[in-house]
Amino acid sequence: MKRYATVVARCLLLLAVITLLNFFLIRLVPGGPLEVISRARVESGAAPLSDAERSMFARYYGLDQSLSQQLLSYGGMLMHGDMGQSTFFRRPTAEIVSQYLERTLLLVAAGLLVAVGAGLPLGIISAARRGSLFDSSLLVVEMILHAVPPFLIATAALIVFAVTLHWFPVAGSAAITVGESSFTSVLRHLALPALSLGVWESTTVYYLTRNAMVDILGEDYIRAARAKGLGEHEVLIRHALPALAPALLARFSVLFGSAIGGAFFAEQVFSYPGIGQLSLTAFQNYDYLLLRGIFLVLSATMLAAYLAADLWLIRFDIRSGERT
C-alpha cells in the first residue's frame, strides 16, 4: 500500500510541477503575455497593441491582478476543466483538445501495436541467437532503420502505398471524409500513418527487447534451467519470456512518449487531424492558450501512462530494479 502511495504522490508532484511550468513559462518571456499577444498581432500584419488595448487585454485575461491571485484562478479554472478560449477556433480549448487527442491516441495505440508486433519477436530471436549471422545482420538493418526520421518513413509509405498503388487515401482521417461507412473509413485513413509510426517505433522496441532478453539469458536461473536438461525452447518460453514483461513494462513510458513524438510527424505527412496538427495550427496562429492546453493535456496523458505502468509493476510485485 505504501508503495502505491509513493508512486501516486510522485505523479501528483510531477503534475503540479508541469502545471506550474505551464503557468510561469509565458510570464518568463521578456515583456510577458501582453508582449506575446502584441508580437503575434504584428507578425500577422496588424498594428501592435496600443496602451488602451494593453490595459483592456490585461483586464480581460486577469493580468492586472497579483501573481498569486492569477495562479489561484488558473488552478480554479483547471479544476473545472476550463482551459480558456482558443483565439483561433473561438471555442473552448478543452473541447478542441479532447476531440483531436482522441484521434492521436488511436494512432499511437495502433502504431504501438505494429511496433510491438514487429519489434518484440525480432528482438527475442535476435537475443536468443546472439552473435549469429541473423542477429548481426538484423542489428545493422535495425540501426539504419532507426536512423531514418519518422517523417521519411511516412513519406516512403505515402509514395508507395497511396500515390503509386492507390491502396489507401493520401491524407486526412475519417472525420473529414463523407460517403464511406465510418468504421472502415477510420481504418483506411489510420492504416498508413499507423504503419509508418509502427515501423519507426519498432526499432526502439527491438532494441529494448534484445537488450532485456540478453540480460535475462545471462541470469543464473536460466543457466540452472539449462543445466537440468531443458531444451532451448523450453528455457526461452517457460523461463525467459515471463521475465521479459516487467522489463518492457518498466520502459513503457519511454515508448509511449516517443510514439507521441513520432505521431506528430506521421500526422504532418498524412495531414491526419490529430494533436500534432492541432499544435502546429496553434503555433502558426499564435493561439497560445490552445497550445498551453495541449501541452498540459499531453503531459497529463503521459503521466497517466507512466502511473499505469508503475502501478502494474507493483501489483504483480515485480521488482523493476533500481531506477537508474
Partner 1 sequence: MTRRVPQIAGLAIVALIVTAALLPSGQSDGNPPFQPPDTSHLLGTDDLGHDMLVEVQRGARVSLAVGLAVGLSTIVLGSLVGGMAGIARSLDGPLMGMVDFFLIVPRLPLVILVSLYLRPSVVNAIVLLSLLGWPAVARTMRPLVRGLAQAEFVEVVRSWGAGPAYLLRRHILPQCRGVLLAQCILEARYGVIAEAGLGFLGLEEPTTKSWGMMMAYAFAHPATFVSDAWTWTVVPPALALVALIVGLSLIGTGLESRFDPRMVQHAPFKADSLSEEGGL
Task: Note the residues at the interface with partner 1 (CB under 8 A).
Answer: 10, 13-14, 17-18, 25-26, 29, 36, 39, 130-131, 136, 139-140, 143-144, 146-152, 155, 159, 163, 200, 203-204, 207-208, 211, 214, 218, 251, 253-255, 257-258, 260-262, 264-265, 268-269, 276, 279-280, 282-284, 286, 288, 291-292, 294-295, 298-299, 302-303, 306, 323-324
Tell the smallest beta-carbon distance from residue 184 to partner 1 (Å): 26
Q: Which is nearer to partner 1, 14 or 186 (CB)?
A: 14
Q: Which is nearer to partner 1, 122 or 174 (CB)?
A: 122
Decide: 69 and 75 in contact? Cβ < 8 Å.
Answer: no
Nearest approach, Cβ of residue 93 and partner 1 (Å): 13
* Cβ closest to partner 1, residue 174 vs residue 305: 305
Q: State how far the Cα of 3 lies from the Cα of 197, in Å rounded to an integer.
A: 35
Contact residues for 137 (Cβ-Cβ < 8 A; gap 6+): none
Are the C-beta atoms of 121 and 114 separated by less than 8 Å?
no
CB of 183 to partner 1, least distance (A): 29
Q: Which is nearer to partner 1, 19 or 65 (CB)?
A: 19
Write down the least CB distance from residue 219 to partner 1, Å: 11
Min dist. Cβ of residue 149 to partner 1 (A) = 6
Buried b (16+ CB within 10 A) or exposed e, 151-168: bebbbebbeebbeeeeeb
> Does residue 61 contact residue 34 with C-beta atoms inside 8 Å?
no
**92 phi, psi to nearest 5 deg:** -60, 135
**Residues 210 and 138: beta-carbon distance below 8 Å:** no
Q: Given the complex with partner 1, which of 186 and 311 has the nearer CB atom?
A: 311
Backbone angles phi, psi at 85, to 5 degrees: -105, 130
